Amino acid sequence: MNLQIFLPKLAMSLINASDDYERHSLLSNQMPKFFSHLQRLAKERPTLARWGRSINIDELAELKIVDPKILIMIGALTNNATNIKVKLH
């Protein structure tokens, strides 16, 4: 599997998905081990709390690093959905 091709395509599919259910299905089908890992993280400290005070912007390019829909999905899978929007600038 060529990750340089696979991951951008998966990211675009996740962004364009109609809802969280579709995003979860895509991720669990395409990357089952990663999906399981995210579910295990839900039992630990909130995953995105590890992000610290970082922002989701590449300051030089002035672009978002990770699409907010993907961050929100990860937050929901890891039980960190309540504070996730604060991290999106």
Nearest to 65 by CA among 88, 33, 32: 88
- pLDDT of 28 reads 95
Cβ-contact 3, 59 below 8 angstroms = no
Q: What are the tokens at 62?
A: 């002035």
Nearest to 48 by CA among 14, 73, 24: 73
pLDDT at 82 over 50: no
pLDDT at 80 over 90: no
Residue-wise pLDDT for 42-61, tens only, equals 777 666 566 555 667 777 87
Cβ-contact 15, 8 below 8 angstroms = no
- pLDDT of 85 reads 47
Cβ-contact 68, 55 below 8 angstroms = no
